[in-house]
Structure 1
Amino acid sequence: MNHSALDNWQRLTDALWDLTEDHPVIALLCRTWAFQIANEVNPKTTPAFSEQTSHPPFNIQSRTLTCDVVFAPCLDRSNYLGTCNEVLKNFKSSNPDLSAGILTTGLSERALNQLIKTSEWPLLSGPNFRAPLLRHLPQVHHITQRIEERVNAIKELAPFFRRHRSDKFQRISGDIERIAAFKHWLTAINCKCVVIPNEQLEPASHLVCAAKELQIETIQLLHGIPTQLYHPMLSDQLWLWDEAQAQTFQKWGLTKSRIHVSGFLEPIHIPDAPATKSQTPSSRNWLFASQWQGAALWGQTHFHTAAKWVAQSQLPSDTQLTVRFHPQDTESDKTAIKKLFEHWTVAPRFTDKQTPLGEQMTHVQGVITASSSVGYIAGVMGLPTAILWDPAMTGLHGDTHFPGSTRIEGPEALTQFIAENNDRRLEGNPFTQHQQSALTHTVDILGDEARKKSQEKWSVSATHTGEHLLPDPGNIHFGIVIPNLNQGSFLEEALKSVIEQDWPHRSLVIMDGGSTDNSIEVIREYEEQAKNVRIGPDGGQTHAIAAGFHQIPEATHLLWLNSDDRLLPGALSTFARMIKREPRHALYIGAGWQISGDGRRRLVLRDEIRWPTVRLWPQQYFLQPATMISRPAYEAVMGVNPDVLHAMDYDLWLRLLHHHSAKCFSTPVCEVQMHPQQKTARIRNEVLWETLALCFDDGGRKDALQLGSHLLRHEPQFASWAAEKGLQLFSRLSKFGKS
């Protein structure tokens, strides 16, 4: 048996776990790399990102629907899918004020088709993943440096990282992109809580990392026995079958506040009338729920060993064995299991008919299994249950307890257990009542978690305004969000410029990220004239804008106004006239004044903006506060992307104008203040890099070179900054610019 995977997992987490607060991607890399190191002699590749399933037809964003709770099975396992459906069914009946759906990312077409036929809930397509992006290079470079500083000091791990440095670099880039895509997607649907019924594998791990960065509650349902691979863990909470499991995790250091005993939630139907002793034939039938596939997980052959023990045991002459194959066993797996029993005088009954497990259990004398879930069900039912336990598994799972079952080690112990329990009979059926109680309790807790997150984020719950292509031009309602952080000297002018507009149908939301200047006093003076005010730390300007727009579902058109800018009198009426005249545009772009520190005014005006020339936006600049956005178009592209920290407006224009048009007009509608504390002035190089990277991602090398040469001519400090950050890809643009 190979313990190196677990050992390396422990070494990696000890060395790197404190970095995961800033970079959650490191947590899932620890798990992936530990497995790769353990299997380096016979490597097992992770499925290519391009092979992960995406299902665009089920895109909830186009329906203006907030999804409070996302259930994410992420793998084609019947117990994962069944658990999601069962919990969701009970959740909706107990929490009619909250919305929920099932994420289909990671599922096969077969599983998706089954969900289409059987599920009553919204199916969510999730984000579309792209290749690793230029935009993430600074973060990739930083994370790589931090990891190498730690790992190079560990002699067991350093050689592996030196041999595969390029692969690690690419892997980090890909993981960051998937986390970024999920962040955008979760923000777009205003999610409060993510429920994952699997073992933190991809793509579930990417989803959890994204949710944690957005402070969305993450709940993981344990399907099986405790394993040390869950600690340290990614998710906020771990929901378990029983108190004994909770005690095991607490012994390993998982705090009690992160553990909830939810009970067994998989949908298992058990008939209410099991066979009694008088109805049972003289021949006793024991069920062996086998499993062969996936048996070498983490270098351990637990399921193989269990099948061999059963084949080596001796059953009484009046006892029959039925071997139930696992649904995912292949024909070669089944052949391997049958071969183990060739020496038996009376061959077992082999079945791959997927008779419901609960129904099959009511007609057997006892159950033999290496599966913790099967053992748990049988134990709660009161059946004699033998859990086959390879002692070497203790290193991974600890001294695990199985309620109502007996842990068996070796064929001799199994032979004795069967002989001692061949006359016990199942009386009654406590399982169904036990499970319904668990479901009722769990969905109540889940509803409370979602509501608590709603209050924390000032979010609108279960908003559904109906699917439509364009807003009614006769019912225009403007939604304006003002994000602010320590701009108190400008904030009052920005607020007054919105409040004093002559268009009556408008909603104002103020999002303050926790200012320490006089901003709070200014906000308190005007908060009664705003629909919502939120004060406190947030996920940055982009996330504040997205959260603010979620507060105003009645708005047909959206605009964010930076706290150091202002709308001109009559600006909203001007926008309304343009929308009524030409209602079929995604963007309405007016003129605007740029005001320098010395008071000089410059009018910014464009005659036409369209894709793909919008990629060169810094050369064809228009003002963001002069831009009104149609809400259906905004939601069709999932809104602003919270992973884009600085050039979120440029990113949004690129995505909107791929599929929609813009209307430009010459009337000034805003004033933009230019000052040293302005974000684009303080971190100008970061803004330019993100803009260039977005251009590269959208249009490729040719447009990036054109934009890069423009930046090199007009922003000479940019090239030296990029080189200092280790962004070697920029060197090509530098050479192009110099030539």
Structure 2
Amino acid sequence: MPIIKSTLTLKELPPPPSDKKEWPWTEQSQPLPERMSDGSEWPRISIVTPSYNQGQFIEETIRSVLLQGYPNLEYIIIDGGSNDNTIEIIKKYENYFSYWVSEPDKGPTDAINKGWQRTSGEIVAYLNSDDAYLPGTLATIAKTFQENCDARVVCGNELKIDSEGFVISESSIEKVDRLSLLHLNLISQPATFIKKSTLELTGGLNLDVHYIFDFELWLRITRLGSMQPIQRLLAVTRWHNDTITTTRRSDVGRELVQVISNELGIYPSSLTRDEIRQILFKANRLSMSLHLEKKKFFASIKYALRAFMLLSAPRLGLEIVQEYYRYLVKPIKSFLKKNKLDTSIGRQIHWSSIAKEIMLNR
């Protein structure tokens, strides 16, 4: 299995499509020296990309990994049997992969676990085939683990972008522990990296969790030790019509309540009864909202009733009522008034512009 032991450059990779510019098409991360500042070798970082029919995005993902300028990289792609142009793109870069395969699997959790089982790095992560790393991410991760030896996980911030690469929002993380996760202070999946030894202790992703498997894994990891947050933009995550978080939002909500309820039942720790009620309220409230977003009104009522039963303050009940008002009444009023839509979209920022700024500042 080939390991990338030298920093790749644009000249060594296949040329990008003629209409593609900037990072990671015509720009690259600054190549790193052969050794870290203390003279030690750069730790091997193993990245797994699960893939299925993401031919329009996967080349950008691949190049964002290979052009990190990182001198000890293992990159694995596990494809679930794509029938679009994904395989053509994978073959274009196959000389730079430690391993790749295209075969039917049981979904992303199965694909990621398969890939992780083949890794040999000290640090591992997975990057979905429609997401990407920002320049210098792997160097930042290696240095952070070196400076925080006890950390089992390092996680940073992400840009959420649309299908065309324009920025929707930017995440910010202050603290990561079991309690913050249970309170739904979520961390960025593509900006999270794990020590391989920690992954082996957890057993990897839970195949019984189909939508929020990363969140469930983070919860199990917090039982073992610390997760180190850093205030650095590391990755972009793409929201489009085919992402699970978009197409299966009601299923995400249902599974969220189940995972949190199971965690509280199996590992209650020192939480008070009021804290548990507050956590369950937030989970059911969010599930209610996600069901409403998918127009599943009657299914949402179950979670709304549970949330009402867990209320800790009257204002929270008012917020639930207001959410149903927005769902039921406002669309009708807007239709009756025949309001004109505001088509102004304001200033849009493409993620490649932020990538360029990062390269200039590192």
TM range (shorter): 0.5 to 0.7
Aligned counterpart in structure 1 of residue 182 of structure 2, from 609, 615, 627: 615
SS in 2 for 1:488: coil
**Structure 1, gaps ≥5 residues long:** 1-472
Q: CA deviation at 1:544?
A: 0.6
Specify the SS of the correspondent of 1:708: helix
In the alignment, structure 1 residue 522 sits paired with structure 2 residue 98: no
* Counterpart check, 1:733 vs 2:299: no
CA contact (8 A) 2:256 2:283 kept: no
Residue 44 of structure 2: aligned partner: 477
**Residue in structure 1 matched with residue 111 of structure 2 by the alignment:** 544
Determine which of 263, 267, 285 is the counterpart of 1:709. 285
Match of 1:587 in 2: 153
- What are the superposed Cα offsets for residues 44-81 of structure 1, whole Å, 9 maximum, x if unpaired? xxxxxxxxxxxxxxxxxxxxxxxxxxxxxxxxxxxxxx
- SS of structure 2 residue aligned to 1:483: strand
Of residues 649, 652, 655, the one that matches 2:220 is: 655
Q: Is the 8 A contact 2:285 2:304 kept in 1?
A: no
Which of 578, 593, 602 matches 2:169?
Answer: 602
Give, as a single letter, the amino acid of the residue that structure 1 aligns with 2:240: H
- Are the equivalent residues in 2 in contact too, given 1:494–1:563 (CA < 8 A)? yes
Contact persistence 2:249–2:291 (CA under 8 A): no
Q: Say if 1:722 and 1:562 are closer, same or farther in 2 by CA, change over 3 A.
A: farther
Q: Using a 3 Å threshold, how does the CA distance of structure 1 residues 544 and 479 change in structure 2: closer, same or farther?
A: same
Tell me which residue corresponds to 2:127: 561
| 1:62-120 C-alpha deviation (Å, 9 max, x unpaired) | xxxxxxxxxxxxxxxxxxxxxxxxxxxxxxxxxxxxxxxxxxxxxxxxxxxxxxxxxxx
TM norm structure 2? 0.67
Structure number with bigger Rg: 1
Residues 734 and 638 (structure 1 numbering): CA distance in 2 closer, same or farther, change over 3 Å? same
CA distance in 1, matches of 2:59, 2:258: 35
Q: Are residue 500 (structure 1) and residue 75 (structure 2) matched?
A: no
Answer 1 or 2: which has greater helix percent: 1
Task: Give distance in 2, aligned partners of 1:660 and 1:538.
Answer: 32
Q: Is the 8 A contact 2:54 2:130 kept in 1?
A: yes
Residue 475 of structure 1 and its aligned partner are, at CA, apart by 5.3
What amino acid does structure 2 have at the position aligned with 1:478?
Answer: I
Q: Aligned partners of 1:712, 1:535: CA distance in 2, in Å?
A: 37
User: Any idea what SS the aligned residue of 1:655 has?
Assistant: helix
Which position in structure 2 is the counterpart of 1:676?
Answer: 241
- Verify the 8 A CA contact 2:254 2:287 in the aligned structure 1: no
Q: Distance in 1 between matches of 2:282 and 2:244?
A: 25
Partner amino acid, structure 2, of 1:486: N
Post-superposition CA distance 1:276-331 (Å, at most 9, x none): xxxxxxxxxxxxxxxxxxxxxxxxxxxxxxxxxxxxxxxxxxxxxxxxxxxxxxxx
Give distance in 2, aligned partners of 1:597 and 1:648.
Answer: 23
- Give 1:705 deviation, angstroms: 2.1
Q: For residues 546 and 616 of structure 1, what CA distance do their matches in structure 2 show?
A: 27
Q: Equivalent residues in 2 for 1:565-576 (5 A)? A: 565-576=131-142
1:610 deviates by 0.7
Q: Equivalent of 2:80, from 513, 521, 535?
A: 513
Retained in 2: the 8 A contact 1:719–1:734?
Answer: no
The alpha-carbon deviation at position 583 of structure 1 amounts to: 1.7
Q: Which amino acid in the other structure matches residue 198 of structure 2? A: A
| Shift in CA distance, 699/489, structure 1 to aligned 2, threshold 3 Å | same
Cα distance in structure 2, aligned partners of 1:569 and 1:563: 17
SS state at 1:489 partner: coil
Match of 1:490 among 45, 54, 57: 57
Deviation string 1:548-594 (CA, Å, 9 cap, x unpaired) is: 01111x21111000000001121100101101111211110111111
Structure 1 residues 648 and 721, CA, compared in 2 at 3 Å: closer, same or farther?
farther
Q: Structure 1's 506 and 607: CA in aligned 2 closer, same or farther, altered over 3 A?
A: same
SS across alignment from 2:236 = strand
CA–CA separation in structure 2 for the residues paired with 1:732 and 1:512: 40
User: Contact 1:586/1:661 (CA < 8 Å) preserved in 2?
Assistant: yes
Aligned counterparts, 1:308-387, within 5 A: none
Matching residue's letter, 1:555? G
Structure 2 residues not aligned, in runs of 5+: 1-39, 266-275, 311-316, 322-362
Distance 1:685 1:697, change over 3 A: same
Structure 1 residue ranges (4+ consecutive) displaced by more than 4 angstroms after TM superposition: 727-731, 734-739
TM-score by length of 1: 0.34
Please tell me whether the aligned partners of residues 712 and 718 of structure 1 are also in contact (alpha carbons under 8 angstroms): no
- Mark the CA change 1:716 to 1:489 in structure 2 (over 3 Å): closer, same or farther: same
